[in-house]
Structure 1
Amino acid sequence: MKKVLLLISPKSRRGAESITLASEHLQTLGYSIINDPNQESTDPNGLIIKYAKEISYVIVGGGDGSVNKVLPSLVKAQVPLVVIPLGTANNLARHYNLSYDIAEALRVIEFGVNMKIDLGLVNNIYFVNVVGLGLSTYVNTRVPATLKKYLGAFAFVLTAFYLSTKIRPFRLNILADGKSYTRRSWQISVCNGRHYGNGLTVKHDASLLDGKLHALSTEVAKWWQGFFLIPALISGRYKKDHDVSLFEAETIELTTRRILKIDVDGDIQTRTPATFKVHRSALLLRIPESEGSNL
């Protein structure tokens, strides 16, 4: 019988219910599920490497942070990843129109195609969507867990609005493919692909296949002026009078006057100075057949 590794934390929002629904559907598709008795306390990368030769797919139920945690082993093992979007932002799912319905999301096993997508690296840490520096770092460390549980993405919006009045912009040195820039920024987001944050678009035509990182620096004079940028930040289309800088490069180096924390796919994992690179065709992802035909 064909086997899969199912990684959904029972402690996450909708976790226990999602495990039951996913397990039932996988069994109807003829797959047996590998259950590790120590899954909750074991590094999921260790589980993937342990079972890599036995399984057809690694199925991750969660948000972008859950996917981020298993990137090192997926790059090494090259086992196809199936994503069940159960998180808050779900930017990878948004990029390929993955269904939020569990049974529908698992249909890619039967009717999907495998696609090798790019990953980013920051200080040798993999990321699939975005690395943030500035406001996003404060938000990700201070959004209340209870608010996130009940309000989802809106919890981040409320927290960002509150913190915008409390923080100050920082001076940033950027080296993008050898070209040097200095900026005074409230937030810089370095993206692999198109989507980041909660419904934001770094650049309307960015993709997970273009071999580029897209860095967006927000440089308004006053914090409240950032609200006028919201339509552009959602569409990924900017005008000359917008107080932003957009950089496209294969390698980017960021330095700051004082050391600042950096969030990687939503979790604080490193700090400045930071070196970014693209790892081309690094992750084997299972996507809907309709999405594969559009590439």
Structure 2
Amino acid sequence: MSHPSEPHLEARRRALLILNPGSRQGGNADLDTGLARLKESGTELESVKSQSPEESCEAIRERRTAVDLVIVGGGDGTVSSCIPALLDSGLPVAILPLGTANDLARSLGIENLDQAFEAICSGDTAKVDLGVVNAHYFFNVANLGLGVKVTEELTPEVKQRWGVLSYLKAFASALSRHRQFKLRIRVDGKEHAMRSIQLAVGNGRFYGGGNVVDQHATIDDNLLHIYSLRPQTVWELLTLAPLLRGGRHDLAKRTFSVSARELYVETKPEAMEIHADGEPVTQTPANFSVKSAALKMIVPKDSPLLGR
């Protein structure tokens, strides 16, 4: 669902800029040119360098009636941690992709920082969905199993040293630590039982540094896209990687996939940790759902979310 440029976004605007100096590019990216461009376009900026999710959310809530727009600069985790306050504010949201993966930016059609600034100046917006797992919101994907091991391997040191290749490095390290578990999924009243090494529940289109959740997935399709990897050898996983990268789970053997608005997940022999947008948020058993058209976000004029 899309919306044309709105008059109040093209007139004199007041914007709150939340920056995470700890993100991969956030501490040293040259934002001056882009920020100057925003000011020239008629945007008054109030900047906050946030050291924690709590500080970011507090800043958004405190200023929600004093600004017209919230701009969040950082990685996927930074933006995701602001969701509760962004929902409360009801304000349009823009992002400056300063993280390692920037999968949310990809889902919106933003490929780089210049394009992000251009989008803010233009002011086109689209409403996006949010995934919900046990009352925790996420943009991109929630996972358990191998994906959690990858996140644990993805330390700040690995991100700084490996950059865009850090997810590949973390995946290679996680392969030696993964184990299988019993998984039960209830979706649309039907139960599926299987052994698994990885369950991913996607709301957006991209995750893990550019992997496609599902070839048909978009962040505004009102659906969750789910896949589970059945136990397999390291070699099988490596040969499967190109299909997973492109979201072609339908072509992959030993893979279960389904799309739905709601699902329930249980694991045995024990509860398992669930990560959402790269951060630990809850554990199984878990209820997943979609909050449709939850946030209005600034997107480029050529975004795949516009004109549909």
Q: TM-score, normalised by structure 2?
A: 0.88
Amino acid at match of 1:91: D
SS of the equivalent of 1:146 reads: helix
Report the counterpart of residue 263 of structure 1 in structure 2. 275
Native 8 Å contact 2:142 2:277 kept in 1:
yes
Among candidates 80, 84, 97, match of residue 68 of structure 1: 80
SS of the equivalent of 1:26 reads: helix
Report the counterpart of residue 279 of structure 1 in structure 2. 291
- 1:179-231 deviation per Cα after TM superposition (whole angstroms, max 9, x unaligned): 10112111111000221112211211111222111111111432331111112
Establish whether residue 146 from structure 1 lines up as the match of residue 157 from structure 2: yes
Establish whether residue 46 from structure 1 lines up as the match of residue 49 from structure 2: no
How many angstroms does 1:22 deviate by?
A: 4.2
Among candidates 69, 89, 92, match of residue 104 of structure 2: 92
Amino acid at match of 1:289: K
How many angstroms does 1:173 deviate by?
A: 0.8
Amino acid at match of 2:289: K
SS of the equivalent of 1:181 reads: strand
Amino acid at match of 1:84: L
Report the counterpart of residue 106 of structure 1 in structure 2. 117
- 1:10-64 deviation per Cα after TM superposition (whole angstroms, max 9, x unaligned): 233332444544433322222222245x843652112111111221211111121
Native 8 Å contact 1:7 1:61 kept in 2:
yes
Distance 1:99 1:163, change over 3 A: closer
SS of the equivalent of 2:297 reads: strand
Establish whether residue 228 from structure 1 lines up as the match of residue 239 from structure 2: yes
Among candidates 90, 101, 106, match of residue 78 of structure 1: 90
* Distance of 2:168 and 2:63 partners within structure 1: 40
Among candidates 33, 37, 41, match of residue 29 of structure 1: 41
Native 8 Å contact 2:129 2:203 kept in 1:
yes
* Distance of 1:163 and 1:241 partners within structure 2: 21
Distance 1:22 1:5, change over 3 A: farther
Establish whether residue 161 from structure 1 lines up as the match of residue 172 from structure 2: yes
With 184-193 and 198-207 compared, the bigger mean Cα shift is at 198-207
Distance 1:27 1:131, change over 3 A: same
Distance 1:215 1:290, change over 3 A: same
* Distance of 1:30 and 1:63 partners within structure 2: 26
Among candidates 153, 171, 190, match of residue 179 of structure 1: 190
Q: How many residues align?
A: 293
Identity %: 32
* Distance of 2:50 and 2:243 partners within structure 1: 42
Distance 1:112 1:290, change over 3 A: farther
Amino acid at match of 1:23: L
* Distance of 1:39 and 1:62 partners within structure 2: 10
* Distance of 2:249 and 2:50 partners within structure 1: 45
* RMSD between aligned residues: 1.9
Establish whether residue 193 from structure 1 lines up as the match of residue 204 from structure 2: yes
Among candidates 170, 191, 213, match of residue 181 of structure 2: 170
* Distance of 1:241 and 1:73 partners within structure 2: 39
How many angstroms does 1:68 deviate by?
A: 0.3
SS of the equivalent of 1:43 reads: helix
In the alignment, structure 1 segments of 5+ residues that lack a partner are none
Q: TM-score, normalised by structure 1?
A: 0.92
Amino acid at match of 1:195: F
* Distance of 2:16 and 2:253 partners within structure 1: 46
Among candidates 116, 122, 140, match of residue 129 of structure 1: 140
* Distance of 1:231 and 1:143 partners within structure 2: 21
Native 8 Å contact 1:82 1:106 kept in 2:
no
* Distance of 2:115 and 2:221 partners within structure 1: 28
Distance 1:35 1:83, change over 3 A: closer
